[in-house]
Chain A
Amino acid sequence: MGTTKDIRDAVNAELKFDPLVDDADIHVVNASGDVALNGTVPSYPQYLEAAAAARRVGGVKNVHNHLEVVLPDADVRDDALLTTVANNALTLNVTVPDGVEASARDGNLTLTGTVKYGRQRQAAELAVAGLTGIRNIRDDIDLSYDADPVDVTLLVQSALDRNGLIADDSNVSVDTVGNTVTLSGHVRTHAEHDAVVGAAWMAGGVFKVRDELTITG
């Protein structure tokens, strides 16, 4: 994955290879591992999957997802219907706490409510992300945790030590101020990046994760 052109070719090949992405109108720009995706895709899951495909590729340090979801006519749902379907999906999901609600406007879904953990917020997004008619999701779910966060730095650092993806000589550092965890240092891949950020979100009382990790690619 030496040169700029190699990375763009590899991202193009990965988008073509991935059966869940229609790459017909995706244009890839690469500047030293900073990859931008421009153009359109026909669904929100494709929007997410295109970025995931680019992140899988070796040498990709950042993905700027500028794709726009342009729904085919058959997939357009009016806002009342989409709001109902989304709220049903949230209510029927065992991982999503009560109190999370969805409202659709022009195909864009906004999630509101209060949950305890960042992972529950993510579960709410996952519960609605595949619905036909969604163009984008705005996640405004608040986090609230009764107790003051205790030992968050220690808990997250222990989780990183346990993780099979994170090298023993990793220089990732975890710093907690109030309810905010700041992550800094170097990771080799997006998968390692996601493992570190995922670990930080699991700790009780974490409301915000500031991601200052550098992906070496």
Chain B
Amino acid sequence: MGTTKDIRAAVEAELKFDPLVDDADIHVVNVNGDVALNGTVPSYPQYLEAAAAAQRVGGVKNVHNHLEVVLSDEDFRDDAMLTTAANNALTQNVTVPDSVEATALDGNVTLTGTVSYGQERAAAERAVSGLIGLRNVRNDIEISYDVESPVDVDLHVQDALGRSALVPDDSDVSVVTKGGIITLTGHVHTWAEHDAVIDAAWMAVGVIDVHDELQITG
């Protein structure tokens, strides 16, 4: 994965190889591992999967997902119908807490409500992301935790990184917590390692936001 052209070609090959992505109208631009995806895809899961495919490729440090979801006519759903389908999907999902609600406007679904953990917020997003007629998801779910001041958050996250198979023993990733906000800095080798670190931070009790300042060395 030495040169700029190699990375663009590899991302294009990965998009073509992935059966869940129609790459016909995706254009890849690469500047030193900073990869931008431009163009259109026919569904929101394809929008997500195209970025995931680019992130799998070695040498990719950042993915700027500028893809637009342009629904085919038969996949179009009016907002009332999509709102109902989304709220049903949330209600029927055992991982999503009761208070989360969805509203559709022009195919864009906004999620609102309050949950205890970032992982529950992510679960709500997953519960609706496959629905036919969805163009994008805006996640405005808030995180609220009853305990006054969560203790040892840095330590718990650091321990989780220590256990992780993906994070090397000599990792320089540092975890700093202030007022429920975790800031992550340091270097990771791959997107998989990046995601492992971010996920670990979101798992800790009392975390309301995660600032990602990690650098992917590629």
Contacts and interface: CB of A to CB of B under 8 A. Distances in A.
B165 A191 contact: yes
B165 A58 contact: yes
Interface string B127-152: 10011101000000000000000000
Q: How large is the interface on B (under 10, 10 to 19, 20 to 34, 35 or more residues)?
A: 35 or more
A43 interface: yes
Greatest chain B CB density within 10 A among A56, A94, A188 is at A94
Given A13-B163, A94-B132, A119 B13 contact: no
Interface stretch (B23-31, B92-100, B173-181): B92-100
Contacts of B45: 94-95, 123
Given A20-B95, A45-B95, A191 B17 contact: no
A17 B89 CA distance: 27
Interface stretch (A24-32, A158-166, A172-180): A158-166
Greatest chain B CB density within 10 A among A89, A92, A159, A195 is at A92
A189 B165 CA distance: 6
Interface of A: 10, 13-14, 17-20, 43-45, 55-60, 75, 85, 88-89, 92-96, 116-117, 119-120, 123, 126-127, 130-134, 155, 158-159, 162-166, 188-191, 195, 202-204, 217
Interface of B: 1, 10, 13-14, 17-20, 43-45, 55-60, 75, 85, 88-89, 92-96, 116-117, 119-120, 123, 126-127, 130-132, 134, 156, 159-160, 163-166, 189-192, 196, 203-205, 218
